[in-house]
Chain A
Amino acid sequence: MKVVLKDLLKRFANAERAAVNKINLVIEKGELAVLLGPSGCGKTTTLRMIAGLEQPDSGRITIAERDITDLAPKDRRLAMVFQNFSMYPTMNVYENIAFPLHAIKMKRKEIDRTVREVARLVNIDHLLERSLRQVSGGEAQRVALARAMVRRPEVFLMDEPLSNLDAKLRVQLRTEIKRLHQDTGATFIFVTHDQEEAMTLGDKIIVMNNGDIQQVGTPHEVFFGPRNAFVANFVGTPSMNMLSGRIVADEGGYRLRLPGFELSLPARFADGLGKMKSDGVIWGIRPEAIKLVSAPGENTVSGQVELVEALGSRDLIFARAAEQLFGVIVDAQESVPVGAPCHLHFAGEQMHLFDAASERSLLNDKPPQSPHRDGGRLCKDGDIHRIATNSPP
């Protein structure tokens, strides 16, 4: 089922700014869309409005062309999994899963068949007679999944369902949710603040901040083509190295003056730089994109390794160069000991530049199209500017 949000606005009483600020969003049938953002960004409020648990101040929500904005939650034909709650404590596992079926007055025999079938799908058929006290946190969340699936809804809403689980279980259930999505072919809308979770799960990622949508795109698009400085900073761990700098015009090109060193900018920024009203920019490069080279040269700074964190097959090195601290990811075999001198090379094609005033990317007004599915879209052009600057409309 295609889910469409149009000009959705929600302002809580006594709040300074809107929790959700007239957002527009299209989630295609069968898509797994992830709402990603820091706490308080409006992602959960958006989800709760789709579920009918919050009433928007204005705007419409449609599912498969049906306007559901004013319907009660029970009439919206969707399922929801919550973060901090997974079972009705007075019922056993079986009764929990059967509970939504009683609401539609299904016959006992049919209920029994459906419950067992769904329980098998999420591997809890051996737990059916257990009570709440006898199941673990991961199992309880599977019960919640089963209860969500039992009415065969075509839209699943998930509000950080994995956040209360330990790391190993989280990864395991993440895979299962992905499999569930493939098997059911239903539309999933998943809320998380964990960008790794968003990257691994999502067909489409919707990055939110301060009630606005910052960017919509595939995991690749938001990672490699962040539309503004917020997305660049928020998506990716360890996060992108970012510095403020000034643009200087050079013969036939542009140079970037950063504190303590200078870089020459590749031609692909020329268009964006030409349109800028001032010379202030934010420069960014991901830790994975910085190369350790053996000798100084063009676009290279020299410094010293201060700290090394082992990540497994790779190391995260913190190197101080030109009085700045850079995070660099290198293969474990090529790692450098603490205190060793090093030369950091910044490849031009991996750099990001953002207008210091608007924080918009100078490159990605039109992000590269994803090979699969349409990359999602923002509805109005004006929105994009407002989103990037975080200023009121």
Chain B
Amino acid sequence: MPVPTSERLLAYVILIAMAALVLAPVLAGSITAFKPQIIWVSSPPTWIFEPTLENFEFVFFTRKGWQYLRNSLIISFGSVAMALMLGVPAAYAFARFRFRGSKALMQWLISLRMIPPIVVGLPFYAMFLYLERGLGIGLRDTFPGLIITYQTFLLPLVIWMMRGYFAELPAAMEESAMVEGYTRMGALLRVVLPVVWPGIVATAILNFIFAWNEFFLALILAGNRTSTLPMTAGTYIVRTRVEWGNLFAVNLLIMAPVIVLTVILRRQLVKGLTFGILE
């Protein structure tokens, strides 16, 4: 049924208004990131100026932003890689096998997503201290420490999402490969994973965003060596003033990788998020 032009127009007006509401502060902030310090907080705001990269230079080099960016990348990619390696096979098992307690285990996994980070953050801190003092295993302020901790929140998401993708596929797909001379693992790798690939990409991106934005656990468990970008954003708000230009420059640094990743993989992402709907 064709939608009348007037209705379509109305829909666009509403959508644009909503987008503007959400994006306007982001846009205003992003513009500030390119302002020279002298007009960060001029009133009324200055909209016409010669853009400068001095804020970026400052946060990136003077305040060691490149280190935090590196840390964030290592921790985020590391966490996602680990979550996929453990979570994808687990999700497959949940989708295909019934075993004692499998349902309860799935419920428990989703309940992990409902816990506020502080509930796990402090026990993790205590455990890390104990490991360090008792057994000499240092995990505090290390990349493995954070990557392991993040699994608490990433693994349930991976398992729940991927189980959905696996469950959509007819079991006959692997069974056919198994009769044709492959082990179940072989069938999974050669037949099933290529089919659910868009789902893996979508899962990876959502998990990456979580790990990338994570602030609280990093605040407790990271230290000088492993501080992440979101942690540094706070350092531009001090008691006496807010360094608006620098703060927004960091914000852009935080947003950029997620936007770039999403744009590059947008086809797979859409395919993954609408998996099974179109067919």
Binding site for B on A (CB under 8 A): 13, 51-53, 72-74, 76, 78-80, 82-85, 88-90, 99-100, 103-104, 147, 151, 157
Contact = CB atoms under 8 A, between A and B. Distances in A.
Give the interface SS of chain B, mostly helix, strand, loop or mixed.
Answer: helix
A73 B178 contact: yes
Contact of B179 (A79, A88, A104): A79
B85 to A, nearest CB: 21
Nearest to A100: B180
A73 B98 contact: no
Give the interface SS of chain A, mostly helix, strand, loop or mixed.
Answer: loop
B217 interface: no
B21 to A, nearest CB: 41
A103 B185 CA distance: 13
Interface of B: 98, 170, 172-173, 175-183, 186, 190-191, 194-195
B195 A89 contact: yes
A73 B174 CA distance: 11
Most chain A CB within 10 A, of B98, B173, B176, is at B176
14 contacts: A51-B179, A53-B179, A74-B178, A74-B180, A74-B182, A79-B180, A80-B175, A82-B172, A84-B170, A84-B172, A100-B180, A103-B182, A151-B180, A151-B181
A85 B170 contact: yes
B195 A72 contact: no
Contacts of B181: 74, 100, 103-104, 151
A5 B186 CA distance: 29
A104 B181 CA distance: 7
A103 to B, nearest CB: 3
A37 B237 CA distance: 75
A53 B175 contact: yes
A211 to B, nearest CB: 20
Contacts of B194: 90
A13 B179 CA distance: 24
B182 A85 contact: no
A279 to B, nearest CB: 50
A99 B175 contact: no
Contacts of B172: 82-85
A73 B179 contact: yes
Contacts of B180: 74, 79, 99-100, 103, 147, 151
A104 B179 CA distance: 12
Q: Which 9 pairs across A and B sit closest by C-beta, in order of nearness?
A: A103-B181, A85-B172, A100-B180, A82-B172, A90-B194, A73-B178, A80-B179, A85-B170, A74-B181
Most chain B CB within 10 A, of A52, A74, A79, A100, is at A74
Contacts of A79: 179-180
Contact of A85 (B98, B176, B183): B176
A13 B98 CA distance: 10
Contacts of B177: 88, 99
Contacts of B195: 88-90
Contacts of A72: 178, 183
Contacts of A90: 191, 194-195
Contacts of A99: 177, 180, 190
A351 B50 CA distance: 103
Nearest to A12: B98
Contacts of A89: 195
Contacts of A74: 178-183
A53 B182 CA distance: 13
A390 B188 CA distance: 41
B29 to A, nearest CB: 43
Nearest to B98: A13
Contacts of B191: 88, 90
A48 to B, nearest CB: 8
Given A151-B180, A151-B181, A88 B173 contact: yes
Contacts of B98: 13
Nearest to B194: A90
Nearest to B279: A89
Contacts of B186: 103
Contacts of A151: 180-181
A170 B33 CA distance: 68
Nearest to A73: B178
B275 to A, nearest CB: 12
A79 B178 CA distance: 10
Contacts of B175: 51, 53, 73, 80, 82
Nearest to B181: A103
A115 B194 CA distance: 22
B90 to A, nearest CB: 22
Contacts of A147: 176, 180
Contacts of A80: 175-176, 179
Nearest to A76: B179
Contacts of A78: 179
A265 B170 CA distance: 54
A13 B100 CA distance: 11
